[in-house]
Chain A
Amino acid sequence: MKTDGIGARVTRKEDHRFLTGNGQYTDDIILPRQTYAAFVRSPHAHATINGIDSTAAAAMPGVVAIFTGKDIEESKIGGLPCGWGITSKDGTPAIEPPHPILCIGKARYVGDHVAVVIAETPEQAHAAADVMDVDYGILPAVVSTGTAAASKTAVHDQAPNNVCYTWGHGDEAGVKAAFEKAHHISTLELINQRLAPNAMEPRAANASYTKHDQSYTLYVANQNPHVERLLMCAFVLGLPESKVRVIAPDVGGGFGSKIFLYAEETALVWASKHVGRPIKWTADRSEAFLTDAHGRDHVTKVELAMDAKGMFLALRVKTIANMGAYLSTFASSVPTILYATLLAGQYKTPAVYAEVKAVFTNTAPVDAYRGAGRPEATYVVERIVEQAARDMKMDPAAIRRQNFITEFPYATPVGLTYDTGNYAAHLDKAMQMADVAGYPARKAASAAKGKKRGLGYSCYIEACGLAPSNIAGALGARAGLFEAGEVRVHPTGTVTVFTGSHSHGQGHETTFAQVVAAKLGIPVENVEIVHGDTGRVPFGMGTYGSRSLSVGGTAIVKAVDKIIAKGKKIAAHLLEAADTDIEFENGVFKVAGTDKSVPFGAVSLTAYVPHNYPLDKLEPGLNENAFYDPTNFTYPSGTYICEVEVDPETGKVAIEQFVAVDDFGNIVNPMIVEGQVQGGIAQGLGQAMMEGCSYDPQSGQLLTGSYMDYAMPRASDIPNIKISNVVTPCTHNPLGVKGCGEAGAIGSPPAYINALTDALGVKDVAMPATVERVWRAANNVV
């Protein structure tokens, strides 16, 4: 194998700049005549804004401008859009209340954007924001997910009972019939708690307006700059996209939270023309906790009907999903399209029905966070399957195995068609790696020293690369879900690739370069990947949903194929042969069956110095674009096994081992893939063990607003993960790849909680299973 080809552990091209302090994140950029913004944020979860007096703030040193909701209203600026329309069971559309970029009349969560103060320095902006005099009329707050729909208070007048939609999916009557003839029904009530994404780089933006061509430039920590531009221009500011350039430079982690169009950057772009100077805003960590779109926040009841042999007959799921105070960019799709469609899991359960009620509350908006709907679905399925094994007194691996889907393609009862997979293969491999056979002896040894040992499985499936666009459109998507790529071969044979995917830690500059280098037979060093700039990249839908390689990578492959096809024509001319006789291999064009050949570099030079060139038939240059719209999702799957030992006296849990066997299809760079799995599992274990956003149930104040209150996994909290793979290549993209970015976060929470509840012999320990909760469960203390 080539040392830098597909499948090689190539160290990352981007690392040198990150390791030497030469990364360039949004906050690192200071523009000439820079000003700074501070947002005045609501200290109340729900309040009328009776008046705003800016007099004192405006007189503070260095203040350049102050804008409030009144200015937004007078400028007739639109609200932030929701990108996915959901239709309720009764046929009515989801309620989509206005989402102004600065509050108009009311503030609806702690941190809501009341005004923006722009000053010469960040300190001056914050000092002035602190003296803004806002007259609030405090209203009762709607906080709890489970009871929002019964609240007497409405977050929005448009939704008097706080229900955004009540959506149903699957065969309700078929499920009911199956439940009536079931031998046993297992049930669980589960909470998938709210999480704060916590990318280490806080959100940041720097917007400027240039008079000479009336154009705007926005630097922003964002995962999809073209989508950001499209939503901002088309829905909010009414600007032509040709006049707006969005640059997402180095971005310090996203995990979903930087997909969305937020009020801050939109306000900055709008204000930059009024101020006539660049305006920068960088969130502090408190603002991140208050206003980055949160994740999860489901309350669910799940029931699984079985026959006497433990074959699954039907699954019924009822979920309440918290949307927060406003609909964030993709909020409505997360607990519906990305959730209920995954409830078949790896199993041939013939009938599935889900009902999802989405509610508004006076809390931060909730949207996609690593996994987005699929962790919630996997948690429901893998917890109830484990419960079913316990109820039926069956081995948890055996009950899974006998219900596995084994023939592909497989159309699930919830609308997806899995193209390929081998679930028994990764279950077998994981059981072997975890030495499940030796588990009873280990459990006995733990018991002998007063400890409780447990083993938990999670056999997850996920759907990546949401597609195709027309199906997504029929399901309510208001955007396309393709990807774009451009491959520019330079005269001397080096290559620049422009991709609509965006890397914020995933290592695309290396993985994509490996793919292109392997296809063109040139060194990885000769391939430069450009991303994150609407001014340079033709178009793009960005990076989320583990789509970059399967969708973005395929767009690049298609463009490379066009390069090779054109190169063959040039080579045919140079070699005086028919282009159908030209083969391309290892960077050399040759006439089949002869020793006549010309290297890639000679062809690229000829394309740009077309002296000996078929100008009558072929354009000069070697530069190709491609768009790729997948025909289906990809379906990564895997088995995770977690083994824990609990000290019942203290509630302390030791993860004795965590085994992850994933099927991501073909793998381009195993080193990067392992890193994604390790990081994803750390986030999933963070959710299972320690993380959670907590709001005061009465006041709606965020109680977990700093790293002192929100428990982030630190180095000592996460074990080494034993990782392996099985490979069933994806059948519908040329690389045979499926996506690996979210699997760890999707598969790991149920593995941990299943292990913990197995150890303690209890039905549930709510996430996060803190030491206190574990101790209470171990000692039966409510």
Chain B
Amino acid sequence: MSMNITMKVNGKSVSAAVPVSTTLVEFIREHLRLTGTHVGCNTSQCGACTVHVNGRAVKSCNMLVAQAHGADVMTIEGLAAANGDMHPMQAAFKEHHGLQCGFCTPGMVMSACELKGKVMNPSDEEIRACLDGNICRCTGYQNIVTSVKAGLAAMS
């Protein structure tokens, strides 16, 4: 059984007929071919698939696309400026070596961006607590925390 889905992704309206069982991440990766959003576990544990749905960071493997019908979705591909300039959070991750293999990175960056406005001037401990839903195997998190702190400062 399929259903018609319409939503805004990275500022553009998209619509498609997809099986009702389709998850949001499947829709993003397989139907829209936006492959920057990754699947690390498909059980909402690792956070690699994090995108923004109506401004909230959401693990897109754990949401049916039907639940995002009519929503405003932003993926990692929508974060940089149209001219290719990176978002301040992306730039901070580069500057502070907040990534290695890059697989968890899109989810990590999307989670980090959501902290803006949620926590004022967060401490390292608060940042670490806020990133609890995102697993990174490469970095040991130290440079991610530094990046997020710098990125949040640059966003204000």
Interface residues in chain A, defined as those with a beta carbon under 8 Å from any beta carbon in chain B: 11-12, 14-25, 27-28, 30, 123, 198-202, 250-253, 255, 282, 284-285, 504-507, 671-672, 674-675, 678-683, 706-708, 712-716, 718, 720-721, 744
Is the beta-carbon distance between A678 and B140 smaller than 8 angstroms?
A: yes
List chain A residues, Cβ under 8 A from B142.
Answer: 678, 718, 720-721
Residues of B contacting A678 in the complex (Cβ-Cβ under 8 angstroms)? 139-143
Q: Is the CB of B80 within 8 A of A250?
A: no
CA distance A775 to B48 in the complex (A): 34
CB distance from A758 to the nearest CB of B (A): 23
State the CA gap A198–B90 with chains docked (Å). 25
Query: Majority SS of interface residues in chain B?
Result: loop
| Known contacts A19-B93, A706-B43, A721-B142: A716-B101 contact under CB 8 Å | no
27 contacts between A and B (CB under 8 A): A11-B94, A18-B106, A19-B86, A19-B102, A20-B86, A21-B37, A22-B36, A24-B35, A25-B103, A27-B39, A200-B46, A200-B104, A252-B38, A252-B104, A253-B103, A504-B101, A506-B100, A678-B141, A679-B137, A707-B45, A707-B46, A708-B43, A715-B131, A715-B134, A716-B129, A716-B132, A720-B145
In this assembly, does B79 line the interface, its C-beta being within 8 Å of a C-beta of chain A?
Answer: yes
Count chain B residues whose beta carbon lies closer than 8 angstroms to a beta carbon of A.
56
The residue among B38, B76, B127 with the most chain A CB atoms within 10 A of its own CB is B38
In the complex, are the beta carbons of A200 and B40 less than 8 A apart? yes
Contacting A at CB under 8 A, from B104-156, are 104-106, 109, 124-125, 127-129, 131-132, 134-145
Smallest CB–CB gap between A675 and chain B, Å? 5
A199 touches B99 (CB 8 A): no
| Contacts A199-B101, A505-B102, A716-B128 given; does A19 touch B140 at CB 8 Å | no
CA distance A200 to B101 in the complex (A): 9
Give CA–CA (A16, B46) in the complex, Å. 22
> What DSSP secondary structure best describes chain A's contact surface?
loop
Tell me which residues across on chain B come within 8 A of A682, comparing CB atoms: 139-141
- Note all chain B residues with C-beta closer than 8 A to A718: 140-142
Interface assignment of B41: CB less than 8 Å from any CB of chain A: yes
When distances are taken between beta carbons in the complex, the residues of chain B under 8 Å from A255 are 137
Q: In the complex, which residues of chain B have a beta carbon less than 8 angstroms from the beta carbon of A24?
A: 35
**A285-B40, A715-B127, A715-B131 in contact; A21/B106 too (CB < 8 A)?**
yes
Interface status of B60 (Cβ within 8 A of chain A): no
B101 in contact with A252 (CB, 8 Å) = yes
| Known pairs A15-B99, A506-B100; A20 contacts B140 (CB<8 A) | no
Of A18, A678, A712, most buried by chain B (CB within 10 Å of CB) is A18
Contact partners of B145 in chain A: CB under 8 A: 715, 720
Shortest Cβ gap from B11 to chain A (Å): 15
Complex interface: chain B residues within 8 A of A744 (CB): 140
Contact B35 A28 (CB under 8 A): yes
Question: Are B105 and A19 in contact, CB atoms less than 8 angstroms apart?
Answer: yes
Alpha-carbon distance A15/B141, docked complex (angstroms):
17
Question: Looking at the complex, which one of A14, A282, A671, A721 makes contact with B102 (CB distance below 8 Å)?
Answer: A14
